[in-house]
Amino acid sequence: MMLLLNSTPALQDAAAVAASVKDDMGMLWMLIAGILVFFMQAGFFLVESGMTDSKNAVNIAMKNFLDIAVGSLAFWFIGYSLMYGADVTEGGFFHWSGFIFSQGPADLFFQTVFAATTATIVSGAIAGRTKYTTYAIFSIILTALIYPIAGGWEWNGGWLNAEWMPAEFIDFAGSSIVHSVGGWAALVAAWMVGPRIGKFLNGKPVEMHGHNQMYATLGVFILWLGWFGFNGGSQLAWGGDDSVAASQVVLVTNLAASAGALSALLFTWFKNGKPNLSMTLNGALAGLVSITAGCGNMSEGGAVLAGLIGGILVVLSIGFIEKTLKVDDAVGAISVHGVAGVWGTLVIGLWGIDGDTGIGLFNGGGASQLLAQAIGVVAYAFWAIVLSYVFLTIIKKTCGGLRVTEEEEIAGLDISEHGSIAYHGKRTREFEE
């Protein structure tokens, strides 16, 4: 009896230690995942600069540094509170707990790098013709206001999880919250800024090749790596009894990316007679976006199918946006993030799972989950498009326009906006004069 009584505190201590270690491991995984997502800024820079003209490489570098530096401060000061603060509307639409609010350094850091990613999506779409001032102001607005308020609708028990919804909206890591919001903001910005000089000839799009496809390729590999933290870290722990393990999230993320790259490769090969590198790269990214919402609610086979369709969708979407909408997206960001983000959100309602239970239309779950996903898709699109248009209109009227002059665009934004060039062996005549 004495041995039994004396062992009870020891058992309790052991349980407490095990729980503490589990919590510490969860925080460590969040920090590692956040660092991986932070490194994605390097990937975005390489993709954007590699797929555009060399005379704008410094400008793209400056925009990516701005996103992480200013975005970190803006999200720390106000954005986190708007996303994860108390529900002040009692309807889950608006949250607020005061300035400089957080629920711990690991979570704040992890959520901060997500905010920076949202802003960077816009950078690539409007590359080569946009004022740096314009982009700087809009980046702050996006990371401090537009993105965090929308994020609270799902990730902080907002209205998309209300009882009146047909089902609980699911966006595990942000196909809509991060990627579609950024994609729709990029669509509005690209439309309002207008196309690059020479992009359209007699109403038809002209292909404007990037200056370094090796940069773009390396950038996609970095983004692919960072996405393991983007999706896997969104578990906010390494695993648990009631949740899918982060290792499974990483696995399905890799499968979807691979499938997206392969389908884009094969589709362009069949369509054009040759496999296209830039489309293959965008296919891999589309596969990643396609699994981001459902990486915690998708079987391995479901992830492959989602990525395969996402890779084809991005090829078709890029063509549609250029040829039909006449919008110049320099790197395909609208299609990769906006369109694939919609697909990644909706696919949960088609063949998503919850543990061993099908919740999608095609695996016994009925139409309620698909309807809930569709409501979220429309809400995020409406929010991002309307607010982006309003704020960009204000910026346009108060800052003397959104884009640089024709002479500055021809000379290159590196020279006109920053007084610097990326490649000293390629000085332009305007710079030398």
432 pLDDT exceeds 90? no
Residue 172: which residues within 8 A CB-CB, separation 6 or more?
231, 234, 249, 292, 293, 294, 295, 296, 297
Sign of torsion over alpha carbons 56, 321, 178, 34: negative
Give pLDDT, residue 24. 73
Rounded Cα distance, 84 and 92, in Å: 11
Q: Residue 252: is it exposed, middle or buried by C-beta count within 10 angstroms (0-12/13-18/19+)?
A: buried
Share of the chain above pLDDT 90, in %: 87
Give pLDDT, residue 424. 81
Polymer length in residues for the chain: 433
Rounded Cα distance, 345 and 316, in Å: 18
420 pLDDT exceeds 90? yes
pTM of the predicted protein model: 0.92
Rounded Cα distance, 84 and 91, in Å: 14
Mean pLDDT of 32-48: 97
CB atoms within 10 A of CB 144: 23
Indicate the residue type of 382: F
Rounded Cα distance, 173 and 220, in Å: 19
> Which tens digit of pLDDT belongs to each residue from 98-132?
999 999 999 999 999 999 999 999 999 999 999 99
Q: Which of 2-6, 38-42, 99-103 has the lowest mean pLDDT?
A: 2-6
82 pLDDT exceeds 70? yes
Give pLDDT, residue 236. 80
> Which tens digit of pLDDT belongs to each residue from 177-235?
999 999 999 999 999 999 999 999 999 999 999 999 999 999 999 999 999 999 999 98
142 pLDDT exceeds 90? yes
Residue 48: which residues within 8 A CB-CB, separation 6 or more?
60, 64, 123, 124, 127, 219, 330, 331
Mean pLDDT of 66-81: 97
Give pLDDT, residue 74. 97
Mean pLDDT of 271-285: 97
Rounded Cα distance, 159 and 86, in Å: 13
Residue 164: which residues within 8 A CB-CB, separation 6 or more?
none
**Domains (range + CATH), the chain:** 22-432 (1.10.3430.10)
- CA 67 distance to own-chain centroid: 13
Give pLDDT, residue 1. 38
Rounded Cα distance, 390 and 372, in Å: 27
Scan for tokens 């024709």, then name that residue. Answer: 406
429 pLDDT exceeds 50? no
For the chain, give the secondary structure using H, E and C.
CHHHHHHHHHHHHHHHHHHHHHHHHHHHHHHHHHHHHHHHHHHHHHHHHHCCCHHHHHHHHHHHHHHHHHHHHHHHHHHHHHHHCCECCCCCCCECCCCCCCCCHHHHHHHHHHHHHHHHHHHHHCCCCECHHHHHHHHHHHHHHHHHHHHHHHHCCCHHHCCCCCCCCCCCCCHHHHHHHHHHHHHHHHHHHCCCCCCEECCEECCCCCCCHHHHHHHHHHHHHHHHHHHHHHHCCCCECCECCHHHHHHHHHHHHHHHHHHHHHHHHHHHCCCCHHHHHHHHHHHHHHHHCCCCCCCHHHHHHHHHHHHHHHHHHHHHHHHCCCCCCCCCHHHHHHHHHHHHHHCHHHHCEECCEECCHHHCCCCHHHHHHHHHHHHHHHHHHHHHHHHHHHHHHHCCCCECCHHHHHHCHHHHHHCCCCCHHHCCHHHHC
Give pLDDT, residue 205. 94
Indicate the residue type of 352: G
Give pLDDT, residue 431. 45
Mean pLDDT of 363-370: 96
